[in-house]
Structure 1
Amino acid sequence: MAGERASSGPVRIIGFGEVMTRLATQGRIQLPQAAALDLHVGGAEANVIAALAALGHAAGLVSAIPANPLGDGAWRALSAAGVDLRRSRRAPGRQGLYFLAPGGSLRASEILYDRAGSAFAVFDWSGFDWSAAFEGAEWLHVSGITPALGPSLARATQAAMRAARALGLRISFDGNYRPALWESWDSDPRGILSGLVREADLFFANHRDMALLLGQPFSGDGEARRREAALAGFAAFPNLQWIASTARHVETSDCHRLAARIDTPATGFQTPEIVMPGIVDRIGGGDAFAAGVLHGLLEGEAPERAAALGLALACLKHSVPGDMALFTRADVEGFSGAGTDVKR
């Protein structure tokens, strides 16, 4: 089993972030009318690591998961996905929650967070031994959500990234800018995020993220604007080797068009759009894209192939409920975007 394989030896990629419980309304009704909620386990970094474990990578997570029944469920779900949790801790406190009212037709989905004071947020990371946690690993994955949770987690994210760089790990950073989280404390998102991106090799970000970090707009439209933003990012953050993003066009809540892009200092590549009708659940699509790109790069694929694999996994994620994209290599590498009849 994947979980047995992942826990039996060193891990190749490690994520650092909060594991959350999602509570979603049924039948696309709004939260005030809900009489029952569906429960799923997720979290930005956990979604990426679980997807990579499903793809056969030895993948682990550093987190603080509450020692209560909701934490038990989260621990079991990640273990079942094959995630190595030996570096995670069970801690006192509450589980971070978020509530989802899925959209319909021209009504957008709505998310309500209830994560303040969670076990992960209040855990004392100051004495955590990052060097021991990263022993034998090749890659660290983090996102901008974790440092947005407060000053102690901003410091912890920086400590993790600096330790990883000192040990020679490659680092991926997903911008995941969440204004409400940053605005809940006396924060400096541009300064903090810029310091973290300086440590990264791979940055998941689009032109809007780069404009936030660099304090400048980018001209043009479409691919030209993204290339201009990427070049500015490579100039500002010399450790970066890749910048990856998606371009999404929303027609209705059930039908989106999605393309993937990856830039290097030398060139940029953007895939054709794929139309996704009949969307089941778009939450976690960005994390699936990140996992697919990381899968390609971990396998030594060329950047354009990594982008295509990221797009494939992102599209597949839209076909299943929940936050996690637990698909096999055969699913991702055989994805065509054309739809298929029943597999028999």
Structure 2
Amino acid sequence: MTEEMMDQALEGVDMLHICGIALSTSELSKQNALALAKKAYEKEIAICFDFNFRSSLNDEEGMASLVATYNIILPWVTIAFGSLRDLKELLKIAVESEEAIVESFMLKYNISVFAGTYRHQKNHQKQLQGFIYQGSEKIVSEKEIYEVWDRIGTGDVFVAGTLTGLIEKWSLEKTVKFGVYSAVLAHTTVGDSPVLSKAFVLNYMENQVDVIR
């Protein structure tokens, strides 16, 4: 991307989201993602980053380069999405409890918000649970049962739902709940792009109806 293209892309933008998979798909996509993130940071645009790590795209030799890239981009990031595995296995944060690991990560990189999901299985039922850290506060949603029609893109939908709540300044409880319900419903639709409206998700979240007439 040229400087002009990046300036045009960021014009009027309040937040930039970088999906971590862009750091692994090719050298060009990595350099473009880093350049765009740096430009956004210089313009004081909030940056959101989702680790979205894929082992199939990273061999052992490439892992050191990937971690080095994380260490470039993370200091520019305000909101991060990921898992405990990302922090422990990729960033090698070696402390005991989940809370201590997340606290260490957020302090090291000056992250304001860190969020993600837990997947559970009980009595042959799949359950999804969301978490969000902001400062010293941690909010965990209820476990929601879900059925899988197509799982592709459901993590991205959790991110989009959670960002919606953060941007609209909802409570953390409502924010992570909306992210979870968005992801739960996304398991029932085909494709990796969200097709359900905010109003639809909120209605289902609040009323749990099977049929809307």
TM normalised by structure 2 equals 0.90
Number of the residue aligned with 2:37: 161
Matched-pair contact (CA < 8 Å) for 2:93–2:104: no
Gaps of 5+ in 2: none
Match of 1:314 in 2: 183
Which digits, 9 at most, give the CA deviation of each residue in 1:251-286, with x for residues without a partner? 59x84101100001221110111111x422222110
Measured after TM superposition, the shift of residue 298 of structure 1 is: 1.6
Matching residue of 2:93: 216
Partner of 1:175: 51
Q: Which AA in structure 1 matches 2:93?
A: Q
The structure 2 residue matched to 1:263, chosen from 121, 125, 133, is 133
Asked if the contact 1:261–1:269 (Cα under 8 Å) also holds between the matched residues in 2, the reply is yes
* Corresponding residue of 1:9: none
Determine the structure 1 residue equivalent to 2:113.
242
1:245 aligned partner, one-letter code: G
Residues 1:275 and 1:218: Cα distance change in structure 2 (over 3 Å)? farther
1:236 Cα deviation from its structure 2 partner: 1.1
- Structure 1 residues 184 and 135: CA distance shift in structure 2, 3 A: farther
Q: CA distance change for structure 1 residues 218 and 318 in 2, over 3 Å: closer, same or farther?
A: farther
CA RMSD between the two structures:
2.2
Per the TM alignment, residue 289 of structure 1 is displaced from its structure 2 partner at its CA by: 0.2
Which one of 131, 135, 158 corresponds to residue 289 of structure 1? Answer: 158
Is the contact between residue 131 and residue 167 of structure 1 (CA under 8 Å) also seen in structure 2?
no
Distance 1:338 1:185, change over 3 A: farther
- Percent identity over the alignment is 24
Amino acid at match of 1:130: M
Match for 1:215: what amino acid?
Answer: K
| Contact residue 178 and residue 205 of structure 2 kept, 8 A | no
**1:168 is aligned with what amino acid?**
E
Larger RCO: Structure 1 or Structure 2 (Cα < 8 Å, ≥ 6 residues apart)?
A: 1
| 1:166 positional shift | 1.4
TM-score normalized by the length of structure 1: 0.57
Structure 1 unaligned spans of 5+: 1-124
Distance 1:148 1:331, change over 3 A: same
Q: 2-side partners of 1:185 and 1:154: how far apart?
A: 16
Q: Give CA deviations for 1:303-343 in whole Å, capped at 9, x if unaligned.
A: 33221111110111012122222111211222338742322
Superposed displacement of residue 173, structure 1: 0.5
Give yes or no for contact 1:247–1:258 (8 Å, CA) kept in 2.
Answer: yes
Query: Given that residues 93 and 101 in structure 2 are in contact (C-alpha distance below 8 angstroms), is that contact kept between their aligned partners in structure 1?
Result: no
The 3-state SS of whatever aligns with 2:24 is helix
